Structure 1
């Protein structure tokens, strides 16, 4: 695991729902997910709304309960079993793993100045001993996020969406973490501001040697930013590969459908989008066999009865589909 920061094996997250002691159902938000996130990488996680992306990210931060399988964190200084982590270890892990929230408007307290917002993790975690030390650290991180001293005196309402997201990024960075989950962190921003924030994240990753899990539904953003991408559907990984390989030759029908929906910049290109019929099935009443078979145009009886395993060809390109080889054959020809 020398090059792996986070390793999940069969990780599951379930939430009991329903009334009464004997009528409870389990909502499987994340179901048997295995993945490796390498140190210093920008790992992308994509899928439709309701596919379990956010819950998986929170489970790796130990902010959602791990109800099956497990996950391991190792940064060269500490090794933590996230399923059985102690209170003292969790306190230290909070310094090493942070979250950038999706909504920069709701994530910041309107009653605190920017200086106090960024300084709060330092004070809560006891990372600085004096106010002067705290202020020095806040100014250092603010400068990395392109915030000046005047900004630190203001309240969040005085800033635009892009500026607020830079404040959120600064708050996440101030404890000097090793691992950051960016949950749809540019989804609420204008396109031009998105590019600015993404470039900032890439620059910070390079300067500080951080590892990112970047959760998004925007495939064009993922293509620009990430080194490795995993595709999630109904709580499970259906495909994972290095970004270039995945975008050059997607194998799973769900991945192909997502890619075909990316708008073209060519005004004469009418596109060949593969329309997916129906909605994602309920996590409390999942279909048998392949979870995607209810919406897949290539599903056969075997798909409906037997659940496919995530298999690899040895190049790091994993796919969970019974028919991917025969479906790729016409394209290869």
Structure 2
């Protein structure tokens, strides 16, 4: 089996939110996550707001503090331990791992031309020596992102949301990264534009051999785009599997609830959505046992006292639930 490009081993990200040095309270936004992202894959990460998806993505970019466990990057050329990365190695990792932001309106400076926006990573990282070389790289990546040469002279206010997101994508890719985190990168776009940007990302992935961590709320988008999906709840992974297997046979009650909420055009499917009662608990006051038991319709006393671990249920399919075997025949 090939070495994964990104590996997290019991990864934890915690923030001290105590009001004083004497009263320390730790918020664990990511709590003991283990996963592997294969090189060249399109890996999806889904879950409700507040589940820790963005924090996990930022930790894998070395943009959020890793306070426990480990995370590693290995592209065959270099191997980095992200927990101790600093100095020259951190600068090199910045070239290899990049982020596509969610909001295409807030992510671009209104005072810079598109050419300067895309060229900025090259200049800051010292990847080109002359302006002519910089311009050549900018034109090359702009063409891959379906931007015309005339667009490079304009300012961001002259573009639609979809065009701005293509500019953001070009800026993220101009340094030649191997790993890209796309954090809700189509959430702010119209549905028709979403499809265009998603197809662009898939085309770029194939052409450049990139590895994506695609963070999203929209399961239909994940189904269209991703090879493998991990479901996150309150800082932990509750289920992970290849996309087709997960959609055909979800095992965790939380995954089933998310899938049942996907809108359907079939009028006979009305009312089939499984309503989850209550809100996701606060990360500062997490329930004991299974973190989902406060909202799970199938919870028993064991779920309230003992936290389940990720268990292999099939080829590359893992689930964290005490009762997944009993619930196989229970409809979503």
TM-score, normalised to structure 2's length? 0.98
State the shift of 1:268 in Å. 4.3
Query: Do the aligned partners of 2:3 and 2:74 also contact (CA within 8 Å) in 1?
Result: no
Give the 3-state SS of the residue equivalent to 1:171 in structure 2: helix
Aligned residue for 1:158?
Answer: 158
> In structure 1, how many angstroms separate the alpha carbons of the residues matched to 2:218 and 2:12?
25
RMSD: 0.9
State the shift of 1:314 in Å. 4.3
> In structure 1, how many angstroms separate the alpha carbons of the residues matched to 2:138 and 2:267?
47
1:36-84 alpha-carbon deviations (Å, 9 max, x no partner): 0000000000000000000000000000000000101000110000001
1:221-249 alpha-carbon deviations (Å, 9 max, x no partner): 00000000000000000000000000000
Query: Do the aligned partners of 1:26 and 1:284 also contact (CA within 8 Å) in 2?
Result: yes
Give the 3-state SS of the residue equivalent to 1:70 in structure 2: strand
Aligned residue for 2:306?
Answer: 306
The count of aligned residue pairs is 331
State the shift of 1:270 in Å. 1.1
* 2:210 equivalent to 1:197: no
Aligned residue for 1:109?
Answer: 109
Query: Do the aligned partners of 2:118 and 2:138 also contact (CA within 8 Å) in 1?
Result: yes
Query: 1:135-146 counterparts in 2 under 5 A?
Result: 135-146=135-146
> In structure 1, how many angstroms separate the alpha carbons of the residues matched to 2:231 and 2:14?
20
State the shift of 1:87 in Å. 1.2
* 2:98 equivalent to 1:88: no
State the shift of 1:265 in Å. 1.6
Give the 3-state SS of the residue equivalent to 1:4 in structure 2: coil
> In structure 2, how many angstroms separate the alpha carbons of the residues matched to 1:188 and 1:308?
35
State the shift of 1:108 in Å. 0.2
Aligned residue for 2:264?
Answer: 264
Query: Do the aligned partners of 1:264 and 1:271 also contact (CA within 8 Å) in 2?
Result: no
> In structure 1, how many angstroms separate the alpha carbons of the residues matched to 2:266 and 2:178?
40
Aligned residue for 1:67?
Answer: 67
Higher alpha-carbon deviation: 269-278 or 297-306: 269-278
State the shift of 1:266 in Å. 1.9
1:173-224 alpha-carbon deviations (Å, 9 max, x no partner): 0000000000000000000000000000000000000000000000000000
Aligned residue for 2:58?
Answer: 58
Aligned residue for 2:26?
Answer: 26
Unaligned runs of 5+ in 1: none
Aligned residue for 2:328?
Answer: 328
Aligned residue for 2:242?
Answer: 242
1:4-38 alpha-carbon deviations (Å, 9 max, x no partner): 10000000000010311111210110000000000
> In structure 1, how many angstroms separate the alpha carbons of the residues matched to 2:311 and 2:89?
34
Aligned residue for 2:252?
Answer: 252
Unaligned runs of 5+ in 2: none
Query: Do the aligned partners of 2:11 and 2:66 also contact (CA within 8 Å) in 1?
Result: yes
* 2:274 equivalent to 1:274: yes
> In structure 2, how many angstroms separate the alpha carbons of the residues matched to 1:180 and 1:219?
20
